[in-house]
Structure 1
Amino acid sequence: MAQDNIDPYLVQFAPDDKENPKNWSRRRRWYLTYFAGLLGFNATFASSAPSGIATQLMAQFKLSEEVAALTISLFVAGYCVGPLFWGPLSEQVGQLSSWNKIFLTRVIFLVTFPVYVCFQVGCALSKNTASIIVFRLLGGLFAAAPLTNSGALISDIWDAKTRGKALALFTLAPFVGPALGPLVGGYIAQSGTPWPWLFWVLTIFAAVCFVLIYFTLPETYAPIVLLHRAKQLRLETGDERYHAPLELVQQKQLHKRLEDSLARPFKILICEPMLIAVTAYMSFVYGCVYLLFEAYPVVFTGGHTFSARYFATFRTQIVFIFALGDLGLTYLPLVAGSILGVFGYLLIFHPQYEAAMDRHKAGLVSPEIRLNLAMSGAPLFAITFFWFGWTSYPSISYWAPMMAGALMGLSSIWIFVRTFFHFCIDVYLIAAASALAANTVFRSAAGAVFPLFASQMYTALDPRWASTLLGCIACMMIPIPIVLKRYGPTLRARSRFAPALV
């Protein structure tokens, strides 16, 4: 409870303390891991689901294709602001004396999720273009909370050796959620159900998650758990000398803390060539995933006439529009590939990482070992675009471009999550939250922008040359993990934010 050689009244965890979140039962920790993945899936599923009802929205509100795409882009744009707000808030609020009695992890979820639910209701009840666009933007802002804080929850309850397995499930959300969203939205549209029901489904999903948060999510942030233990000891013993490590932190005004937290991610990004390279690559990969929601309709309805029919008149011309139910099935290989990517990591790479940790018991494993998987995934990601583009001819079976999605899912997982995400954590350690916040802002911006030009690019250049352009850009990025593998130790030695290995 206390370390006598340092401070007999400093409250800390004993090695086998059952109140330490990392010592909770495995069943409880795996439940929280699955639950964190569900929360992340909820947010990313909601980001792309309106693409399935795009034709109904265009007919209802007289929207252009570009404005209809904003229902996805602006939701993802909310992810740009959220990580800079909810992450720093979760770190800073707990250090303010007036908030000391609040469970920190819980309060962020308990505050953001009801508001998120309300904005889903707002979308369902929208009567004009402005309202649905604004509600989607604000919904994305509050949906960023589970994306930002669920990963922190997992880090709170698992040690470094096991954390990779736990994060494997959670990190499927950025790929599985957006891929399944159009499938559900498309079948709602194809069944003839009014478009607001999609948002009612999202509302129910989010409300169920909120109920589970309220009843099953405990506090997992160890400093706050110790803070509550210190308060309880003071109450039981009457001795005011008991204190938690968090209470020793020098107090600052809230606006000063938020100012420091909001500025730090960008300071790190500007000063760190490694982070710039990783952010550029991850932003491109993330943007390409959302680009598919506009590229797939061009390929599979224009070339392969998936569920094609005349649906509406737009701009005084008969427009060839499709029911997205069957089209949503084309995203399933992306889901399957993402799952295969996780299994590939668990079966092949993670055992290698565990063995490396066992060999380096006296110190830390070099972060560059994380890059091995990206060195394999980067060429596969580039191949995906050439495969998808040059098999998109109507004379070729639609199975050929569809299965390219499986390779994209697998390679994206290997690059995006299983390599660079962990690489940033291992390199920057105590500054990892800020590094990932800057990374999240820019990759979310890419996810918001790419769908806005995807349809025009695939129509103007045709799917072959549009995909070739993206494939060439992907080829240009193949050397990034190779260069970081070779020069990473040198760059880390010169870094102001990467601690030296011991």
Structure 2
Amino acid sequence: MSLHEKNTTHDHEQSSETPTLREESLQSECPPTPETHQLKKERTQPEPESDVVGHEEDLPPSEGGMDPPEEESDVYIVDWDGPGDPLNPKNWSKKKKWGATLIVSAFTFISPVSSSMIAPATGQVAEQFGITSSAIEALVVSIFVCAYAVGPLVLGPLSEIYGRSRVLQLANLWYLAWNLGCGFAQNTGQLIAFRFLAGLGGSAPLSIGGGVLGDLWRPEERGQAIALYSLAPLLGPVIGPAAASWVAQRSTWRWCFWASSIVDAFIQVLGVLFLKETFAPILLERKAKAMRESMDPEKGRYRDVRTPYDTADRKWQNILKKSLIRPFALFAREPIVQVLGLYMAFVYGLLYLFLTSLPDIFTGVYGEEIGIAGLNYFALGIGLTGASQVNARMLDRIYKYYSKKNGGVGKPEYRLPSMVPGTIFLPIGLFLTGWTSRPDVHWIVPDIGIAFVGAGTILNFQSIQTYVIDTFTLHAASALAAVTFFRSLAGFGFPLFAPAMYSALGYGKGDSILGVVAIVVGCPAPWLLWVYGERIRQASHYARK
């Protein structure tokens, strides 16, 4: 999942040669007084927030951005009206913030529902279209996730140019159209192509939603919002197949797509009505535009109104170029991104491997009907939801506890403790599921193992995402784009080899191999980063020092 985050408050000191509208108003209305000087002094004080997450080209100079336009006496610099400006999304009411968070999470939920909803009905698709290869059957499911690797690289930069809300909702309409079209596909090629195109639009919430959360929430408030947002793309693939199992049993596979399209249309209406723009450069540009329209050029001596983000680098060509190159540069140079990116890719691939293999376990080994077999997906959902709810309450609490012990200074490493049980639960679940998926063992036992896999998955996801966001402040969007790219490729590729692996090795040996990999790669990671993470960050060109 690529999480773009932008800072929406600026430590922007106004030049005496480039006054703001408020300062000019004070000068024109009354002569300078001690009170006037005091107000101007207060306006130039840095705001009490320094969480800058996003691309350099979108940041004011005082926060690491590019140099501002050449200072001229006829230029207004339009910024927030102090740290309490109600237009700043970080100052919105909690009700409004959570409303936006819930809508973005709903967008993030419905797309992964489609990603795996067809899994229980692949037998029907294969029968109708004459598919004989198990790899092609798996491709029908996983091709949607392949688009997740490509879409964020383009949709993320577009959201920085045209705004979060606009791109998010237009991309969702694209997804809705192609997902609806999947229900009318007449052959395998059409279905695979339509699935890929739907996935491109469906990837938007994964790349833009994190930026919305960064716009809305301060670091010490962000844990619960990210916990909800992180749960959505993992819970969606669980609920989708569980519902589709009954749809496929009672109707046709085509209704899997039509049903999800109906739900998405409802979410789209909510988004149009209630999801407002949160991206600082767009909001300030709207404010500047309103000021330009209200000015009388014959009376005013100022001809130009700008925001701190109006730099030569804020062009779509530059933003797109950096968004395409920087994620891979980070992956090539940053050990933190390499280790966590590969582990997260493994965990995500494992999730989709489970999603495609669960019907085979419970229909093949236990002889359950497809509808009943689909209920076993709820074991994965219980693990995901239960662990997420606990972690949502603990993530910020742990961070504040260690920050207090460190003299009130927070570190990204304080996000890692919840990753420790996640790296333990994951291999436990793999071993338990693999070796108990036998007719002589009650079905509840592999379900318990599946729940452990779900718990381990969400704990790792939430911890890794918050750690990466806090580590790569200015470049968090690129770091998460790199992680999302490789995890999506894993989610696409793992289901393709799963049928052959389980056919050759069986569930016990197959899951044991995956469990050993989970131990070797995952278990040392939080401990190594806890001890050496700060040292690695100090040597990094991109990470927060």
Residues 71-124 of structure 1: per-residue CA shift (max 9 Å, x gap)? 211100000101111112222x25xxxxxxxxx112202321221111012111
Q: Secondary structure at the match of 1:18?
A: coil
Give distance in 1, aligned partners of 2:503 and 2:543. 45
Counterpart amino acid of 1:327?
Answer: A
Answer yes or no: is the 8 Å Cα contact 1:330–1:402 preserved in 2: yes
2:428 counterpart of 1:383: yes
Look up the match of 2:335: 273
2:505 counterpart of 1:466: no
Look up the match of 2:359: 297
Note closer, same or farther for the CA distance 1:297–1:20 as it changes in structure 2 (3 Å cut): same
Answer yes or no: is the 8 Å Cα contact 1:77–1:444 preserved in 2: yes
CA shift, 1:31, in A, is: 0.9
Answer yes or no: is the 8 Å Cα contact 2:344–2:461 preserved in 1: yes
Q: Secondary structure at the match of 2:423?
A: helix
Answer yes or no: is the 8 Å Cα contact 2:78–2:307 preserved in 1: yes
Look up the match of 2:58: none
Counterpart amino acid of 2:269?
Answer: V
Question: Which is worse superposed, 25-34 or 207-216?
Answer: 207-216
CA shift, 1:253, in A, is: 5.3
What is the aligned residue count? 470
TM-score between both structures, scaled by the size of structure 2: 0.83
Look up the match of 2:270: 212
Q: Counterparts in 2 of 1:127-276, with a 5 A limit?
A: 127-191=186-250, 193-238=251-296, 239-247=302-310, 249-251=311-313, 254-276=316-338
Give distance in 1, aligned partners of 2:174 and 2:105. 20
Residues 5-62 of structure 1: per-residue CA shift (max 9 Å, x gap)? 6642222222211111111111111111111111100111110001122111011101
CA RMSD of aligned residues (A): 1.8
2:346 counterpart of 1:284: yes
Answer yes or no: is the 8 Å Cα contact 2:165–2:277 preserved in 1: yes
Give distance in 2, aligned partners of 1:69 and 1:39. 25
CA shift, 1:362, in A, is: 6.3
TM-score between both structures, scaled by the size of structure 1: 0.90
Answer yes or no: is the 8 Å Cα contact 1:45–1:180 preserved in 2: yes
Look up the match of 1:8: 19
Give distance in 1, aligned partners of 2:355 and 2:421. 26
Question: Which is worse superposed, 106-115 or 22-31?
Answer: 106-115
Give distance in 1, aligned partners of 2:166 and 2:335. 36
Q: Counterparts in 2 of 1:364-383, with a 5 A limit?
A: 365-383=410-428
Higher CA-based Rg: 2
Answer yes or no: is the 8 Å Cα contact 1:172–1:339 preserved in 2: yes
Question: Which is worse superposed, 251-260 or 122-131?
Answer: 251-260
Counterpart amino acid of 1:171?
Answer: S
Answer yes or no: is the 8 Å Cα contact 1:17–1:23 preserved in 2: yes
CA shift, 1:3, in A, is: 5.9
% same residue? 34
Q: Counterparts in 2 of 1:65-80, with a 5 A limit?
A: 65-80=134-149
Unaligned runs of 5+ in 1: 95-103, 308-323
Counterpart amino acid of 2:536?
Answer: L
Structure with higher helix content: 1
CA shift, 1:357, in A, is: 4.0
Look up the match of 1:97: none
Give distance in 1, aligned partners of 2:317 and 2:207. 21
Counterpart amino acid of 1:392?
Answer: S
CA shift, 1:206, in A, is: 2.0
Give distance in 2, aligned partners of 1:115 and 1:347. 36
